Amino acid sequence: MTTFSLSQEFVSNATMVGETDLPVMGVDLSPLPTKEQLHAFLEKLSRSETAREMARRKWIRSTSASLRERVADRALALLEFLTVSRPATPAYAMFKGRRLSSQRSFMDEFATHAWIAHITDVSRDHVMPFAFNAKNINRDFLKSLTKLTTHERGPRFALDAVREIGICVVLESGLPGMSVDGASFHLVGSGPVLALTLRHDRLDNFWFTLFHEIAHICLHLSEPGDDIFVDSIDDGDSDEIEAEAEANAFAKDSLIPRDTWLRSNAYRFGNESSVLALAKQLDIHPAIVAGRIRYERRQFGIFNDLIGRGQVRDLLFKA
């Protein structure tokens, strides 16, 4: 993967407070770096694996035949993609549920913002057949989703059920450089959006991420606004952020009631027989119990045969 470093002069130019100059993904950066700095930066960026993948997915287009011309075209296409007016795009500064930007690489940030911009474009093109009402995310709805976890095609049926209550669901693999499982936001005029990357092709990750994003929509995004939650479910620091702790608790308690969990042998002993017993008791997939133990104990090498590896992506992307 290509590594970039920006000079202090570039950073100072891009972050200096001043008059509005150019909107980038819903944010005004002013004043701009010099034309030469911008050209050099975009040329480097256009050679990255992330930009090439964006071109392969036709998010940006280049019609030139030669490599030199393709790189130049891709740089211009990137500039257009990043600066196009998206009035409904959640604000750049309002990303939530993420570690401090100083703890993430530039390519992680760039790829994530490009992915969100594409998700926004896709969701605006969807006409939802039902209007969203936050009251529809109730105990009965959540219970119906947990019952689907044991079904072979449960993930597909669950996403259909989420769409039926007015939430736009977008499946889009992450770009190179990203470390994101899901995102959620609420667009004016369009309704709430729930996006999944399925980067971990496992049932435990799918179900927890789905319930985590539903939690954000229920607890934090019931009305349109500028907030957007971008989540890496395996980020151990997420509980330090209040909204993320709330979404984590919502997802855990919806899948496995808290009192039941704390009284269970799965919580106390964490062995395979206790995992299977609790899953049978609650009529949920064993992957959910196994995944919770793996995460809470930070032991990601256990229960590899119980977490439903390889049972999500083909089911959903080839649907």
Q: What is the pLDDT of residues 6-48, one digit of tens each?
A: 455 544 544 444 443 333 444 444 455 676 776 777 778 888 8
pLDDT of residue 85: 56
pLDDT of residue 21: 38
Give the chain's mean pLDDT.
83
Residues 186, 96: contact at Cβ < 8 Å? no
Would the CA dihedral through 311, 305, 251, 102 be positive or negative?
A: negative
pLDDT of residue 226: 82
Number of C-alpha atoms within 13 angstroms, CB side, residue 106?
11
Pull the structure tokens for residue 98: 């993420």
What is the C-alpha radius of gyration for the chain, rounded to an integer number of angstroms? 21
By percentage, how much of the chain surpasses pLDDT 90?
54
Give 80 or 128, the one with higher predicted confidence: 128
Residues 168, 143: contact at Cβ < 8 Å? no
Residues 79, 43: contact at Cβ < 8 Å? no
Average pLDDT, stretch 189-203? 94
Q: Examine the pLDDT at 96 and tell me if it is beyond 50.
A: yes
Over residues 232-246, the pLDDT tens digits come to 877 665 566 888 999
Q: Examine the pLDDT at 219 and tell me if it is beyond 50.
A: yes
Residue written as token pair 């989540």: 231
What whole-number distance in Å separates Cα of residue 227 and Cα of residue 235? 20
pLDDT of residue 40: 77
Give 1 or 130, the one with higher predicted confidence: 130
Give 62 or 49, the one with higher predicted confidence: 49
Residues 252, 258: contact at Cβ < 8 Å? yes
